[in-house]
Amino acid sequence: MSAASTRTILICSGKGGVGKTTLTANLGIALAKQGMRTAVLDADFGLRNLDLLLGLENRIVYTAQEVLAGTCRLEQALVKHKQEPNLALLPAGNPRMLEWLTPEDMQKIVAMVSASYDYVLIDAPAGIEGGFKNAMAAAREAIVVTTPEVSAVRDADRVIGLLNSNGIQPIQLVLNRVRPKMMANQEMLAVNDVTDILALPLLGLVLEDEQVIVSTNRGEPLTLHGTSSPAARAYTNVARRLRGEDVPLIDPAKEGRGLRAKLGRLMTKKLF
Amino acid sequence: MTLRDLINRLLGRQQTSAETAKERLQLVLAHDRSDLNPELLMQMRREILEVVSRYVEIDMDEGDVSLETEDRVTALVANLPIKRARAVPLAKGETSESEEEADPADPVFRAKVSS
């Protein structure tokens, strides 16, 4: 495969803690399971965590730092996932890398990785400063992760502005940590509110799911074990849509069962 | 309008927090996206009202000049209810009688007395 057809995708959000790294890990595993050769790149050099979510923290020998310095080959730094060998992680180097890393360095690393992978997912740091701009320089397209909260949506908007002015295309949205009950009670921004405000196509909708915490405890992304939990299904569907499959989005209003959810649906139905 | 909105309106209840969140976001994003400094925006608002009120009498209490945003495009929207047209436009800097009775704290009024 030539690097020209490799899809290099920035996973970003602006705000921290909305689920960038969780999405990167789960999407990486899901794409790998669908037969795509996938590399995930931890571009959060200050506060790296992608290794931890993938359960690969004990297998890191070299990092992007040594690759750039030329003291090891790329293949030595890439950590292959044991259960899912289609997936490899390029770990972030020492936080001091932030002092000298340039956008050109990131482009160089991503170009090297692209040579032998179909998908390169770049886990961006929170914020819109240097670290984010370095990560953005290496990507062609982007997935913006946000939650239905005012602070996360505002920060996402700022990031989308930066992505637009840097010619990143397409930019798609993943709405994370949706609570159907709160949405039904109109105590949480509706899906349409967020997509209207940010004016981005929705690539995925992930319900709040306690299993995500359990999976991070173990270092085993949910998508590794099929689609038993709602979040695992959602992440797997994000991967399928990313590959061009037409998978319908879930309707949060239909998720709740029982009288309360039914009442909620009745209450939020448009009268006129 | 949903059934919930209708019930809330009938009972005189405040809007849902999701609706409040949406309105607050739309306003703050309009300002974020325009990248206009608030002071300049205030000044522009004052000058627009000043120019318009030379030609028509506007209802200052109902009038509003604000930023709105849709599909990532920000627009300056002026909503200025007209009381009546002036037969002869006022000259620049000239104020009408009714406006001289205005509250001195009103930014429009202050703009006029200072100019």
For A2, residues 6+ apart whose C-beta sits below 8 A from its C-beta are none
For residue B63, the distance in angstroms to the closest alpha carbon of chain A comes to 25
> How many Å apart are CA A21 and CA A51, to the nearest integer?
10
pLDDT tops 60 at residue A250? yes
Residue of A139, A176, A181, A131 whose CA lies nearest to A156: A176
Q: Is the pLDDT of residue B6 over 90?
A: no
pLDDT given for residue A190 in this prediction: 94
Q: What are phi and psi of A226, to 5 degrees?
A: 75, -155
Q: According to the model, what pLDDT value does residue A258 have?
A: 61
Instruction: Give the pLDDT band of residue B45 (cuts 50, 70, 90).
Output: confident
Neighbours of A82 (CB within 10 A): 10
For chain A, the helix, strand and coil percentages under 3-state DSSP, each to the nearest 5:
45, 15, 40
At B99 the pLDDT is 47
**A5-15 pLDDT, tens digit each:** 999 999 999 99
What is the average per-residue pLDDT within B12-23? 85
Q: Does B13 touch chain A (CB under 8 A)?
A: no
Query: Is residue B64 less than 8 Å (CB to CB) from chain A?
Result: no
| d(C-alpha A135, C-alpha B53), whole Å | 51
Structural class in CATH, domain A3-268: alpha beta
Task: Assess contact for B63 and B81: CB atoms under 8 A.
Answer: yes
Question: Could you tell me which residue, B115 or A68, shows the higher pLDDT?
Answer: A68
Residues 73-112 of B with CB under 8 A from A: none
Contact: B25, A270; criterion CB under 8 Å? no
Beta bridge partners of B56: B85
What is the model's pLDDT at position B114?
A: 33
The domains of chain A are located at 3-268
Tell me the chain A residues in contact with residue B4 when contact means C-beta distances shorter than 8 Å: 186, 267-268
